[in-house]
Structure 1
Amino acid sequence: MTAADNRCRLVLIAPDHSDTDACVKMMEDALKGGDVASVIIPQYGLDDRLFQDRAEKLVPVIQAAGAAALVVDNSQVAGRAKADGLHVSGAVADLAEAIEKHAPKLIVGGGNAKERHIALEIGDAQPDYVFFGRLEGDIKPEAHSKNLALGEWWAAMIEIPCIVMGGTAIESALAVAQTGAEFVALRLAVFEVPERAAAVVAEINALLDEKAPRFDG
């Protein structure tokens, strides 16, 4: 057990960078900054061959740091890269099918929970987590207020963990933590200035260590 296990933890979303080797270097640096629960790897428009190459280079780096590597929407790439899980961004039916096919061998979680009733439908499929927000939804310094509200509602009612998308500011991680959500996802806040990635992860963890509410038990 780490010191972070009883409060909101950081989830990274791999950066959208055309150069895979640069992307891997950015991830290596970020993971040196401290606790990261998992890393979500989107395809970002890459063809399957290039995405396969990227995943195969990122997954071992992520796993070596003790984080779970989650590939977005491509179970073949996830399997070939020996990823820990699959992040399903599509409809509830897609998520339910992925859970049936791949759980519990793989972690399977889902997003696209834009409303409460959709979130509850996702919950009925018993994913490993529910994601509130869009993977590329960090367009403002603060986390989207709707995602914060959904995360707070979910965390108060449902045992399935949730991840809430943060904003471009480090402080948005604390706003997510204060909802009771188990995880905060960040992308540009960490990777926008690549040479600062490790320092930013360290700052986020220090902020959460100091100010994030603790979970019961």
Structure 2
Amino acid sequence: MSEPQNRCRLVLVVPDMADAEEQLKAVADALRGGDVASVIVPQYGLDDGAFQKRAEKLVPAIQDAGAAALIAGDSRVAGRVKADGLHVTGGGAELAEAVEKFTPKLIVGGGNATDRHNALEIGEARPDYVFFGKLDGDIKPEAHPKNVALGEWWASMIEIPCIVMGGTDAKSVLDVALSGSEFVALRLAVFGEPASAALVVAEVNALLDEKAPRFKD
């Protein structure tokens, strides 16, 4: 992740858009809105070749804005496009393998932590972060209560940072921040109306600046 702040920070999940140029513009616009720690680039349904072409455009734009670019898909693509990291959507074994293979060269995090037991298994691999929720799990205005609860439990006792998936309403970041989680991920809340992406990122940062609890050093 880029330079830490002493409060919960925003992570963006790139939306599934058919047009590569529209997708790139939406992401670049969002990053102009303010502080973003990292951007996760999912493969969605693209084959490796098409995904690599997308990532070749997205990764430099993300890095130029000062955020870390994390590839959620083929690890070879992450290497070829010089991404900052790899987001693993599989479970503990897949994540452990990626951690062993790619750290410290790449940021490696993710997991598929659906409960405390899963989360602790994933934590044993010592990833750079643990992700609660699914990358396309923003199906309601609010963050899923189970993921917020897992984030609160995790952040209170484990040093590895966590990211909690938010909802389709940008204000859902506040519930996540109040849980003590270090990062909140947004997708449709920012990119549902691409023309407003920068404005939403600015509003989210203003809300977190005003109301998110501060972390102790």
* Pairwise TM-score range, normalised by the shorter structure: over 0.9
CA distance in 2, matches of 1:32, 1:73: 25
CA distance in 2, matches of 1:20, 1:82: 19
CA distance in 1, matches of 2:193, 2:101: 38
Q: Give the 3-state SS of the residue equivalent to 2:170 in structure 1.
A: coil
Alignment of 1:144-155 (within 5 A): 144-155=144-155
CA distance in 2, matches of 1:148, 1:86: 23
Counterpart of 2:85, as a letter, is: G
Q: Does structure 2 retain, via aligned residues, the 8 Å contact 1:4–1:35?
A: no
> Which digits, 9 at most, give the CA deviation of each residue in 1:152-193, with x for residues without a partner?
000001000000000000110011000000000000000000
Unaligned runs of 5+ in 2: none
Q: Give the 3-state SS of the residue equivalent to 1:209 in structure 2.
A: helix
**TM-score w.r.t. structure 2 length?**
0.98
Q: State the match for 2:85 in structure 1.
A: 85
CA distance in 1, matches of 2:169, 2:114: 22
> Which digits, 9 at most, give the CA deviation of each residue in 1:53-110, with x for residues without a partner?
0001000000000000000131110000100000000021110000111000000002
Counterpart of 1:163, as a letter, is: I
Q: State the match for 1:213 in structure 2.
A: 213
Alignment of 1:26-175 (within 5 A): 26-175=26-175
> Which digits, 9 at most, give the CA deviation of each residue in 1:116-170, with x for residues without a partner?
0110000000000000000000000000000000000000010000000000001
Please provide the CA RMSD for this pair: 1.1
Q: Does structure 1 retain, via aligned residues, the 8 Å contact 2:3–2:37?
A: no
How far residue 3 of structure 1 moved from its aligned partner, in angstroms, is 9.7
Q: Does structure 1 retain, via aligned residues, the 8 Å contact 2:91–2:113?
A: no
How far residue 111 of structure 1 moved from its aligned partner, in angstroms, is 2.3
Distance 1:149 1:19, change over 3 A: same
CA distance in 2, matches of 1:147, 1:3: 25
CA distance in 1, matches of 2:143, 2:18: 26
CA distance in 1, matches of 2:45, 2:122: 25
Report the identity percentage.
71
Q: Give the number of aligned pairs.
A: 216
CA distance in 2, matches of 1:3, 1:117: 31
Moved over 4 A (4+): none
CA distance in 2, matches of 1:206, 1:111: 29
CA distance in 2, matches of 1:87, 1:163: 11
Counterpart of 1:16, as a letter, is: D
Distance 1:3 1:54, change over 3 A: closer
Q: Give the 3-state SS of the residue equivalent to 1:6 in structure 2.
A: coil
Q: Give the 3-state SS of the residue equivalent to 1:171 in structure 2.
A: helix
